Amino acid sequence: MSKKPLRVRDVALSLLERIEREHAFSHILLNHTLNEKPFHEKDKALLTELVYGTIKRKNTLDFYLSPFIKKGIHSLDSWVRQLLRLSVYQFVYLDRIPLRAVVHEAVTIAKVRGHVGVSKFVNGVLRTFLRESLPTTEKLEGVEKYAIEWSHPEWLLEEWIHDYGFDEAKKMAETNLFPAPVTVRVNQLQLTKEEAKRALEEEGCEVENGHLSPDALLIKKGKIPQTKTYETGAITIQDESSMLVARLLDPQPGMKVVDACAAPGGKTTHIAERMEDKGEIYAFDLHQKKMQFIEEQRKRLHLTSIKTKALDARKLPDFYERCSFDRVLVDVPCSGFGIIRRKPEIKWQKKPSDLERLPDVQLDILEKASELVKKGGRLIYSTCTVRKIENEAVVRAFLERNHGFDWDEEAMKNLPTSLQPQVNQGEVTILPHHFETDGFFMAALRRM
Ligand SMILES: C[S@@+](CC[C@H](N)C(=O)[O-])C[C@H]1O[C@@H](n2cnc3c(N)ncnc32)[C@H](O)[C@@H]1O
């Protein structure tokens, strides 16, 4: 038995444990580990698959394991629980790893981490699992059954089925079980899309045009942050749906623009690119420590029109003159359920009670930031969630309370033709399966 694959599984297990116990973000831990440890490319891919796959399929894996653990999976120590999930994930979803090798490695890990008793238990559970047929959900009904088959919490599926109907909820949940694509936005101040594509191909990447945004390239193969094209500021890694926000805002060179919740600066820098870096862009974020992320991107892209400041967006009217900005973007903090493919743990970690206050906070930020919009100016509200209560409901509440604003239907014409059938007055929702992007919501309003 080679040592390498054993190490990958051991590292995967440690990451899974930290994600569950400390509520750490999978993508941050994983990136950190991949950059720090000298893994071969093949092992990096396996580690990523094991961590994301085990988190994404948690409900299904627990269901498969349940007949074999008398006292229930939650009676086990956290690392044993994760080890069993990790092993069953490999049995069921990966076909290139021999089943016996999976058992052997799990048992060896159990011996090292625990004691002989635990390794015997792990061995027993996994061998019995392999002898029996896979448990089925036949006897289950309704959302209880879907929560296991599509591996999402029941409450979230109930909400999606209520908001979007059964078919859309099913497609969304099933899409969330697979990896998200990597896309980049071309900085057209430096290169055309064709030029950027050629430059990336010359650096060994496989590249196609994006599915939705005119600014997007889809990366099929290649390590983007390691390319010269990235380093010199010709591209930015960004999801395609997020790339539409700057188009919707449609800022012109010379304008005064506020980005009220700006870090890490993906949309701020896009706004500057679209303004040919001419004008004034004020980028705010609540957290001082996040300002460095905007600054890093600003510098990498050689942009000079962006000014950054740590500030609670709800205090904007205390510091800036009312009705003095041409464009205001309010890309609020949200539940993030449009990006479950990139951060799968959030579907398990975030509970309805954690999210209760969000719509009030979002409305508050939107109202305070809106005070800065000048007459005839544009206000964009956006989120990377698919929860209507954080999207349509917030915008409606805003319009009910702020009669000086109305839908900006003209702005919606800046969105791609393929998205037009989904546009409703001044707002649009994109679900992950529509165009293979993150789930996203945007609304365009104007001060009359
Ligand atoms: C969805 S993220 C913004 C993403 C960013 N627009 C981009 O495209 O890169 C929301 C941001 O709002 C910030 N935030 C949360 N509460 C805030 C507040 N009261 N005022 C300003 N920013 C806030 C968070 O720190 C977070 O960085």
**Residue 287 CA, ligand 1 centroid: distance in Å:** 8
**ipTM exceeding the 0.90 mark:** yes
CATH number (domain holding residue 51): 1.10.940.10
The answer to whether 134 touches 64, Cβ cutoff 8 Å, is yes
**Residue 330 CA, ligand 1 centroid: distance in Å:** 8
Same structural domain, 193 and 298:
no
Q: Show the domain range for 378.
A: 240-447
Residue 191 above 50 pLDDT?
yes
**Residue 262 CA, ligand 1 centroid: distance in Å:** 5
The answer to whether 291 touches 315, Cβ cutoff 8 Å, is no
Residue 207 above 50 pLDDT?
yes
- Is any atom of ligand 1 closer than 6 Å to the C-beta of 290? yes
Cα angle 100, 44, 59 (rounded to 5 degrees) comes to: 60
Q: Please provide the average confidence, as pLDDT, over all residues in the chain.
A: 96
Same structural domain, 116 and 152:
no
- Is any atom of ligand 1 closer than 6 Å to the C-beta of 261? yes
- Is any atom of ligand 1 closer than 6 Å to the C-beta of 367? no
Give residue 276's pLDDT. Answer: 98
Same structural domain, 220 and 202:
yes
CATH number (domain holding residue 395): 3.40.50.150
Cis preceding-peptide flag for 264 (omega within 30 of 0) = yes
The answer to whether 243 touches 435, Cβ cutoff 8 Å, is no
Residue 5 above 70 pLDDT?
no
**What is the spatial distance between Cα 171 and Cα 73, in angstroms, rounded to a whole number?**
28
Give residue 2's pLDDT. Answer: 46
Nearest to residue 156, comparing CAs of 306, 377, 336? 336
Atom of ligand 1 nearest to the CA of 382: 1
- Is any atom of ligand 1 closer than 6 Å to the C-beta of 285? yes
- Is any atom of ligand 1 closer than 6 Å to the C-beta of 380? no
Ligand 1 atom 19 nearest Cα: 312
Residue 3 above 70 pLDDT?
no
Provide the number of structural domains found in the chain: 4
CATH number (domain holding residue 212): 3.30.70.1170
pTM of the model: 0.95
**Residue 412 CA, ligand 1 centroid: distance in Å:** 23
Same structural domain, 22 and 170:
no
Ligand 1 atom 6 nearest Cα: 262
**Residue 374 CA, ligand 1 centroid: distance in Å:** 22
Please state the rounded mean pLDDT for residues 217-229: 96
Q: Is 285 annotated as a binding residue?
A: yes
Same structural domain, 374 and 319:
yes
- Is any atom of ligand 1 closer than 6 Å to the C-beta of 262? yes
**Residue 29 CA, ligand 1 centroid: distance in Å:** 21
DSSP single-letter state for residue 424: B
Nearest to residue 180, comparing CAs of 52, 12, 18? 52
Name the residue of 261, 289, 301 to mutate for ligand 1: max ligand atoms within 8 A of Cβ. 261
- Is any atom of ligand 1 closer than 6 Å to the C-beta of 364? no
Same structural domain, 117 and 196:
no
Helices (H), 308-349: 316-319, 346-349
Ligand 1 atom 11 nearest Cα: 261
Condensed to tens digits (0 to 9), the pLDDT of residues 128-143 reads 999 999 999 999 999 9
Query: What percent of the chain stands above pLDDT 90?
Result: 95
Nearest to residue 341, comparing CAs of 167, 197, 110, 181? 181
**Residue 38 CA, ligand 1 centroid: distance in Å:** 34
Q: Is 262 annotated as a binding residue?
A: yes
Same structural domain, 148 and 250:
no
Give residue 195's pLDDT. Answer: 98
Same structural domain, 349 and 308:
yes
Condensed to tens digits (0 to 9), the pLDDT of residues 10-65 reads 999 999 999 999 998 999 999 999 988 888 888 999 999 999 999 999 999 999 99
The answer to whether 52 touches 45, Cβ cutoff 8 Å, is no
Q: Is 438 annotated as a binding residue?
A: no
Exposure of 72 by Cβ count < 10 A (0-12 exposed, 13-18 middle, 19+ buried)? exposed
Please state the rounded mean pLDDT for residues 324-329: 98
**384 labelled catalytic:** yes
Please state the rounded mean pLDDT for residues 311-329: 97
Residue 260 above 90 pLDDT?
yes
- Is any atom of ligand 1 closer than 6 Å to the C-beta of 314? yes
Ligand 1 atom 10 nearest Cα: 333
Q: Is 354 annotated as a binding residue?
A: no
Same structural domain, 28 and 97:
yes
Confidence tier at 1 by pLDDT (50, 70, 90): very low
Give residue 40's pLDDT. Answer: 87
Atom of ligand 1 nearest to the CA of 384: 1
Ligand 1 atom 27 nearest Cα: 263
- Is any atom of ligand 1 closer than 6 Å to the C-beta of 369? no
The answer to whether 270 touches 213, Cβ cutoff 8 Å, is no
- Is any atom of ligand 1 closer than 6 Å to the C-beta of 284? yes
Atom of ligand 1 nearest to the CA of 260: 21
- Is any atom of ligand 1 closer than 6 Å to the C-beta of 15? no
**What is the spatial distance between Cα 52 and Cα 342, in angstroms, rounded to a whole number?**
9
Please state the rounded mean pLDDT for residues 151-162: 98
By mean pLDDT, which of 19-28, 326-335, 417-426 is the weakest? 19-28
Q: Is 377 annotated as a binding residue?
A: no
Condensed to tens digits (0 to 9), the pLDDT of residues 331-385 reads 999 999 999 999 999 999 999 999 999 999 999 999 999 999 999 999 999 999 9
Residue 6 above 80 pLDDT?
no
Same structural domain, 186 and 310:
no
Same structural domain, 356 and 334:
yes
- Residue that is last in its domain, among 237, 256, 281: 237
Same structural domain, 148 and 14:
no
Q: Is 263 annotated as a binding residue?
A: yes
